[in-house]
Amino acid sequence: FKTLPQLREALAARRQAASQKAKKAKQRQTKTKTAQKPQPPDQKQQEQSKQDQE
């Protein structure tokens, strides 16, 4: 970095990128949480596989 403003800009950009990553991670977590709740088809599939085995 030649000048201090460049260094400041780089740090700011890095901070923004980190915050964006955190936001995306949070969004992913909420998406997976909401997706996990309304999903009882897994049990049906397990029951079907049990019947197939029998």
21 and 13 in contact (C-beta within 8 Å)? no
Answer yes or no: pTM beyond 0.85. no
Full pLDDT tens readout for the chain, 54 residues: 578 899 999 999 999 999 999 999 888 877 766 655 555 556 666 666 666 666
| CA 43-50-44 angle, 5° bins | 20
